[in-house]
């Protein structure tokens, strides 16, 4: 059998216990700071006017009004009634839009890492945070947009802008079916 040597604990000096707890608290705060620094950058969205209903998904196409500014307030871009596919914009823009509702107006802060990062783009310097004022007018899924496009094409074909030979369709050169040119007497030559 092995013998275990016992060492008696020494008494703690008066006031040392507070120093130990202070050291533990400092280590915990430092670890929390390191953990906070490791968190991914976040987009901040402030509601100016509340919207209603569902929010778009990253697979949707939105119709928006927007104004983009640099941290110094300089406007670098703005547009009205612009359709945008959420999967084709900077990551911060799509992260913000999925937090919005139809009819709402929002103030958005996008950190540089979720914008253009270390690349300068147009008037936007590298490593620049961006601010946007965005109004979400409407949004639709890609399937809804494709269905609308098919309906528009069918309507155009029915109204004369479609395939040659279809009822009501124009024939290249301005002739109608049967070789008649509008406003001309007799067949086209």
pLDDT digits (tens, 9 = 90+) for 53-87: 999 999 999 999 999 999 999 999 999 999 999 98
**96 in any annotated domain:** yes
**159 in any annotated domain:** no
**189 in any annotated domain:** no
CB 63 within 8 A of CB 81: yes
CB 61 within 8 A of CB 148: no
Q: What is the domain extent for residue 82? A: 44-143
Which residue is associated with the tokens 């802060």?
Answer: 109
Q: What is the CATH number of the domain that holds 118?
A: 3.10.50.40
Amino acid 22: pLDDT: 72
Question: How many domains would you assign to the chain?
Answer: 1
**33 in any annotated domain:** no
pTM of the model: 0.62
**175 in any annotated domain:** no
Low-confidence ranges of the chain (pLDDT < 70): 1-5, 7-17, 31-39, 161-189
Amino acid 49: pLDDT: 97
**89 in any annotated domain:** yes
């Amino acid at each position: 059998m092995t013998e275990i040597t016992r060492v008696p604990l020494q008494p703690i000096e008066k006031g040392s216990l507070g120093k130990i707890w202070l050291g533990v608290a400092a280590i915990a705060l430092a670890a929390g700071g390191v953990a906070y620094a490791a968190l991914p950058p976040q987009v901040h969205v402030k509601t100016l006017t509340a919207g209603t209903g569902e929010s778009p998904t990253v697979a949707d196409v939105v119709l928006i009004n927007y104004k983009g500014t640099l941290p110094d307030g300089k406007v670098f871009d703005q547009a009205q009634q612009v359709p945008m596919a959420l999967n084709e914009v900077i990551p911060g823009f799509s992260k913000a839009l999925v937090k919005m509702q139809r009819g709402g107006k929002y103030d958005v802060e996008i950190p540089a890492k979720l914008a253009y990062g270390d690349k300068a783009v147009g008037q936007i310097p590298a490593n620049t945070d961006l601010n946007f004022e965005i109004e979400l007018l409407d949004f639709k899924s890609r399937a809804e947009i494709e269905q609308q496009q098919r309906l528009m094409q069918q309507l155009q074909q029915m109204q004369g802008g479609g395939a040659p030979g279809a009822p009501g369709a124009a024939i290249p050169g301005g002739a109608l079916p049967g070789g008649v040119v509008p406003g001309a007497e007799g067949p086209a030559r």
